[in-house]
Amino acid sequence: MSNIIIIGGGIVGLSSAYFLQKEGHQVTVIDKSDISSGASFVNAGYITPSHIIPLASPGMIAMGIKMMFNSASPFYMKPRWDTDFFKWSWFFHKSSTKAKVEKAIPVIKDINILSRGLFEEIKASGDLGDFQLERKGLLMLYKTDASYHHEREVAEKASFLGLEVAELNQAQLAAIEPDIEIDAKGAIHYECDGHTTPTEIMPKLLAYLKKTGVQVKTNEEVVDIGFKGQNIDQITTTKGSYTADEVVLAAGSWSGELSKKLRIELPLQAGKGYRINVHRPTGISMPAILMEAKMAVTPMKGFTRFAGTMEFSGINTKIRKERVLAIAKGAKSFYPNLEIHQAEIDAAQTGMRPVSPDGLPYIGRSSAYKNLTFATGHAMMGWSLGPATGKLVSEVIGGKKTSMDIAAFQPERRF
């Protein structure tokens, strides 16, 4: 069995460690943080087979340019001189065609279904103890006919692929969500979806890995990656150096910069998201996407989470107050009786999602290095796809037939 180093301790890195240790490998996870914050902790907690349309889709670049000078907009690209961002934007534009989106849809569906099953297997195993894993589905709430017709097209594709979908009118919506008033014309209900509480699962997963012998190095940043020929032979951190038989790059939004140390160009941009937690009864029992507000609502264990926005402004943890306020305002527009307090707004947190130009993750072996496997670039689906990615990584490293075809995720693909 191999000695494996995983760079990155988010849901993808820890899921990779989970499945690799089960195969008997000696695993070390290295993360620059204390693994208590970031995208794996502030996301909406969705398990979303319904999210079959990649971020790179027709009209998204035009929307980004239109919203570029409104820092409160749901989809914001900060104007800046950055050659990596220019290249990524060009690749994103090239990927945003109807033909490429249609090709990506079944692949995205398959990996989401795989991951949903693995979440259920992990819970059934008892390895992490009990945790929230509910299958109530996801409501796509809409106020306008335009939003309805847009989502109806997606729903038809999802239904064709075998996913469970229903339409709800206002009366049916009130029946399924009786304890809070909703200002919406109706909803598309993706019954195939589930939800969790990331802040519950991440500590439990971390504790399980430590208990089973996985070495977890926190507050330790990888500063260099050495190689000889087609093999990585040294990982240098702020606290020391390591050697390994295999290396997994699961460093989220930092994966692109680390790839440069290996002379690999991995087009990747950090897409910042924000969340507000409300630790009071809200009456909300169903996960929902508020379509016109472009934000997510999740009833988690002990609180309700309001999350959203996609901000491309480089790697930074700056919280833009106008973006947080836009989330609170969006929630109020759909739930008129809901009040989000100023203290809750002030306690908002942010996380950065690694976004590839075509909206598909990078999963698989490097073509440049024999002992390097990529596991990054999941955009808004990182949480949903964590277990599937970990399973696929363990199969790639173990030389096994993968649970699904991963050709579309080839890390050094051309755009």
Q: What is the pLDDT of residue 67?
A: 62
Least confident of 78-87, 134-143, 243-252: 78-87
Task: Check pLDDT > 90 for residue 115.
Answer: yes
Cβ neighbours of residue 102 under 8 Å, at least 6 residues apart?
none
Q: What is the pLDDT of residue 77?
A: 75
Q: What is the pLDDT of residue 169?
A: 97
What mean pLDDT is reported for the chain? 94
pLDDT tens for 384-397 read 999 999 999 999 99
Task: Check pLDDT > 80 for residue 214.
Answer: yes
**In the structure, what pLDDT confidence band is assigned to residue 80 with cuts at 50, 70 and 90?**
confident
**In the structure, what pLDDT confidence band is assigned to residue 78 with cuts at 50, 70 and 90?**
confident
Q: What is the biggest distance separating any 2 CA atoms in the chain, rounded to whole angstroms?
A: 66
Helix 198-211 × helix 11-22 angle, to 10°: 40
- Cα–Cα distance measured from residue 217 to residue 304, given in angstroms and rounded to the nearest whole number: 32
pLDDT tens for 297-323 read 999 999 999 999 888 888 988 898 998
Please state, as a whole number, how many other Cβ atoms lie within 10 Å of the Cβ of residue 302.
11
- Could you tell me the residue ranges of all domains in the chain? 3-409
- Cα–Cα distance measured from residue 288 to residue 295, given in angstroms and rounded to the nearest whole number: 8
Task: For residue 362, list its beta bridge partners.
Answer: 376
Are the C-beta atoms of residues 235 and 5 closer than 8 Å to each other? Answer: yes
Question: Closest Cα partner for 266 from 394, 409, 371?
Answer: 409
The fold of 3-409 is: FAD/NAD(P)-binding domain (3.50.50)
Rounded alpha-carbon distances, angstroms, from residue 263 to 87, 114, 230, 244: 16, 32, 12, 19
299-304 CB contacts, 8 Å cutoff, 24+ apart: 299/195, 300/45, 300/132, 300/195, 300/196, 300/197, 300/199, 300/200, 301/131, 301/132, 301/197, 301/200, 302/197, 303/277, 303/278, 303/279, 304/277, 304/278
Are the C-beta atoms of residues 334 and 319 closer than 8 Å to each other? Answer: no
Are the C-beta atoms of residues 244 and 371 closer than 8 Å to each other? Answer: yes
Are the C-beta atoms of residues 28 and 242 closer than 8 Å to each other? Answer: yes
pLDDT tens for 145-197 read 999 999 999 999 999 999 999 999 999 999 999 999 999 999 999 999 999 99
pLDDT tens for 17-54 read 999 999 999 999 999 999 999 999 999 999 999 999 88
Are the C-beta atoms of residues 216 and 204 closer than 8 Å to each other? Answer: no
Q: 236 exposed, middle or buried (CB, 10 Å; 0-12, 13-18, 19+)? A: middle
